[in-house]
């Protein structure tokens, strides 16, 4: 392509709201243009990168018996209602058409695949199968941000496996995991597979592929000695500590102006791990209205009292999972006091504790850490006072104990006991073991060898192409611009000519034609612009090779060749350029 005919231009400055390097550079280099929050146009250069990524994904999916297809983005509401997700996926975009017909704009395609199973899978002879497609997806993302990392409209590679049973599914699953490793390696973003939360997808287990990156928007936990790794929303860790040999007497003490864990620990003279932290939420069911949940707690809302040892923090995703799903917001002071607790000085001591979630009383859910210690300092539910010597279960009870604390650097591995670390990363892909999560509610079955109906075992596997494009740029850039890996670069060679005179331009034109005939993808800067402008744009766009035709070199029969990822400039004879760029 000739730059003189390019649609759009490079920009000298990034938009003021672009914080990530990928966001800034992809806009400045004319790869993408935003037209709304979380909605982007892929300009010609950007679309070529998407197609390169697409081709790599298709190759890896085809290599493990995948069949590419195309599924609609407009899904009848009935498909999502059948699986129970119409009212429970909070980011699902919904459309109401004429005649009262309702549709979902596809956030994912499990429902469509399940419908196809009902129509086309009859017996065990039709299984196993793997299908995939690469298509647009939509999410009613409340905080679209980070350029291409968090979008409302995005491009996704979705694959789905259909198996007769769990054993067959488990036998195939490693092939998909390896294919994902291959994809990330080929595009220049080696990834790590970590255990993860299944979220709204449901199912048995999942693995998230993350690309370690200091500026990443996500966090994963990794052991420093063994191979254990998990997303922070699913990571386990050892709660160190044990019950004291002697239980102290429960004593109420004055703690004026001590509303935080740090303040009360310092005032009483204990470590924070000998205190107990109380956190309060209001819960309501997915698909319900929060206002009704707040005003009609007996129907679909509930006050939640959360306890964790004072040196730890609550992970809200773990908490929601422990509660069986739903939505949370911070409780108000009025709601806390209505439960019998005092904000800043609260504990479960003296409260009427519910025996279960559907039972009357205050529902108290505690982390396992309350069992790893004792003689705690806790709130006395009286402003300005705490109890010392508090012990579970002698002094208070709880409704439920679960893993709801967040793992962090310095904690210890649940598998080998070594230290774990919290590391920043970017989520790049996800593999879900769905099992019969979708086949059970819809009746998607096959007839086994004995003619008996059995549920189809499903797996779902996704990678976002636009998110991966941004991740590549986050990993491959410098102070001058993007440094594209060859496998995904929109073109391989950035050809430009410098200097006055028709002979230089004619030589560059001839070289452009020769490179194209040789099958080399070329972006030709044939503009009448200064050397500084051309070199700056070449660095900003970031193609693997820059070839410069100049008057002085042309007189000697040579051109200047430079790799974008290196500082060295080489003088290469024109006659040898093709073999230099495409060695045998």
Confirm if 431 and 169 have CB atoms less than 8 A apart: no
pLDDT given for residue 584 in this prediction? 52
* Distance in angstroms between the alpha carbons of the first and the last residue of the chain: 26
Distance (Å, whole) CA 276 – CA 124: 55
How many angstroms separate the Cα of 569 from the Cα of each of 106, 512, 549, 572, 580?
A: 49, 20, 13, 10, 13
The radius of gyration of the chain from alpha carbons, rounded to an integer in Å, stands at 29
In sequence order, what are the residues at sequence separation of 6 or more whose Cβ sits closer than 8 angstroms to the Cβ of residue 567? none
pLDDT for residue 291: 63
- Give yes or no for a contact between 229 and 218, defined as CB atoms under 8 angstroms apart: no
As a whole number of angstroms, the distance between CA 54 and CA 47 comes to 10
pLDDT value of position 157: 98
Q: Which of 70, 202, 67 is nearest to 128 (CA)?
A: 67
The overall longest dimension of the chain from CA atoms, in Å, is 96
Three-state SS for 416-468 is CCCEEEEEEEEEEEEEEEEECCCHHHHCCEEECCCCCEEECEEEEEEEEHHHH
pTM: 0.89
* Three-class secondary structure of residue 37 per DSSP: coil
Question: Can you give the pLDDT at residue 299?
Answer: 47
What is the rounded CA–CA span in Å between residue 279 and residue 331? 9
Residue 519 per-residue DSSP state = T
DSSP category for residue 526: -
Structure tokens belonging to residue 212: 């370690």
**pLDDT tens-digit readout, 341-398:** 999 999 999 999 999 999 999 999 999 999 999 999 999 999 999 999 999 999 999 9
> Quick one: tokens of 38?
């979380």
Q: Please report the beta strands in 264-353, taking only residues with DSSP state E, as ranges in sequence order.
A: 276-284, 301-309, 327-330
What is the average pLDDT value for the chain, to the nearest integer? 94
- Give the number of C-alpha atoms closer than 13 A to the C-alpha of residue 420, restricted to the C-beta side: 27
**What per-residue confidence (pLDDT) applies to 301?**
86
Q: Which two tokens stand for residue 584?
A: 């045998």
Classify residue 535 by its DSSP letter. Answer: H
DSSP, residue by residue, 342-400: -TTS--STTS-B-SSTTSSSBEEEEEGGGGS--SEEEEEEETTEEEEEE-TTTT---SE
| DSSP reduced 3-state for 514 | helix
Using an 8 Å Cβ cutoff, are 266 and 250 in contact? no
Distance CA 375, CA 476 (A): 52
Question: Which pLDDT does position 298 carry in this prediction?
Answer: 44
Q: What is the pLDDT of residues 183-220, one digit of tens each?
A: 999 999 999 999 987 665 455 678 999 999 888 889 99
**Domains of the chain, first to last:** 14-190+437-473 (3.30.930.10), 251-402 (3.90.960.10), 493-581 (3.40.50.800)
pLDDT of residue 293: 54
In the block, tokens 């052991």 appear at 223
Counting as low any pLDDT under 50, the low residues of the chain are 201, 295-299
Interhelix angle for 44-62 vs 465-475, to 10°?
110
Q: Which residues contact 461 (CB under 8 A, 6 or more apart)?
A: 132, 158, 159, 160, 161, 176, 180, 429, 430, 431, 432
């Amino acid at each position: 392509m000739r730059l003189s005919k390019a649609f759009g231009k490079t920009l000298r400055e990034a938009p003021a709201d672009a914080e990530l390097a990928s966001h800034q550079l992809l806009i400045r280099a004319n790869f993408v243009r935003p037209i709304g929050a979380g909605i982007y146009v892929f300009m010609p250069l950007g679309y070529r990168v998407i197609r390169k990524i697409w081709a790599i994904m298709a190759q890896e999916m085809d290599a493990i018996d995948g069949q590419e297809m195309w599924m609609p983005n407009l899904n009848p509401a009935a498909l999502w209602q059948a699986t129970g997700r119409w009212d429970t996926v909070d980011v699902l975009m919904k459309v109401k058409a004429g005649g009262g017909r309702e549709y979902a704009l596809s956030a994912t395609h499990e429902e469509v695949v399940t419908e196809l199973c009902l129509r086309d899978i009859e017996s065990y002879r039709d299984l196993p199968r793997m299908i995939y497609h690469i298509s647009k997806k939509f999410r009613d993302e409340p905080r679209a941000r980070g350029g291409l990392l968090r979008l409302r409209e995005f491009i996704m590679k979705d694959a789905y496996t259909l198996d007769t049973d769990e054993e067959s599914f488990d036998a195939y699953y490693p092939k998909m995991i390896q294919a994902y490793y291959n994809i990330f390696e080929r595009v220049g973003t080696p990834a790590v597979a970590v255990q993860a939360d299944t979220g709204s997808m449901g199912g048995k287990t999942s693995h998230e592929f993350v690309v370690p990156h200091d500026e990443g928007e996500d966090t994963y936990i990794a052991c420093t000695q063994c191979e254990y790794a998990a997303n922070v929303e699913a990571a386990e860790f050892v709660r160190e500590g044990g019950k004291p040999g002697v239980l102290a007497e429960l004593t109420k003490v004055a703690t004026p102006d001590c509303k935080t864990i740090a303040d009360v620990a310092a005032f009483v003279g204990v470590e924070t791990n000998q205190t107990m932290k109380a956190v309060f939420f209001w819960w309501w069911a997915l698909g319900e209205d929060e206002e009704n949940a707040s005003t009609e707690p007996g129907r679909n809302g509930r006050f939640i009292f959360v306890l964790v040892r004072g040196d730890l923090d609550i992970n809200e995703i773990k908490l929601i999972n422990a509660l069986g799903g739903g939505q949370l917001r911070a409780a108000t002071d009025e709601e806390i006091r209505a439960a019998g607790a005092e904000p800043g000085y609260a504990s479960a001591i003296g409260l009427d504790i519910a025996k279960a979630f559907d039972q009357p009383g205050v529902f108290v859910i505690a982390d396992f850490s309350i069992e790893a210690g004792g003689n705690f300092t806790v709130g006395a539910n009286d402003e300005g006072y705490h109890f010392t010597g508090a012990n579970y279960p002698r002094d208070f009870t709880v409704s439920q104990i679960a893993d709801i604390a967040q793992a962090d650097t310095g904690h210890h591995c649940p598998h080998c006991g070594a230290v774990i670390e919290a590391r920043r990363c970017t989520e790049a892909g996800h593999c879900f073991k769905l099992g019969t999560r979708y086949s059970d509610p819809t009746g998607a079955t096959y007839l086994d060898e004995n003619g008996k109906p059995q549920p189809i075992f499903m797996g779902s596997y996704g990678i976002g192409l636009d998110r991966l494009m941004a991740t590549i740029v986050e990993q491959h850039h410098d102070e001058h611009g993007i440094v594209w890996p060859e496998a995904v670069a929109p073109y391989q060679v950035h050809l430009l000519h410098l200097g006055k005179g028709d002979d230089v331009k004619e030589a560059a034109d001839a070289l452009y034609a020769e490179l194209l005939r040789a099958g080399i993808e070329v972006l030709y800067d044939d503009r009448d612009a200064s050397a500084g402008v051309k070199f700056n744009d070449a660095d900003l766009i970031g193609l693997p090779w820059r070839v410069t035709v100049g008057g002085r070199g042309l007189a000697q029969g040579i051109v200047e060749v430079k790799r974008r990822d290196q500082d060295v400039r080489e003088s290469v004879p024109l006659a040898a350029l093709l073999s230099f760029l495409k060695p045998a």
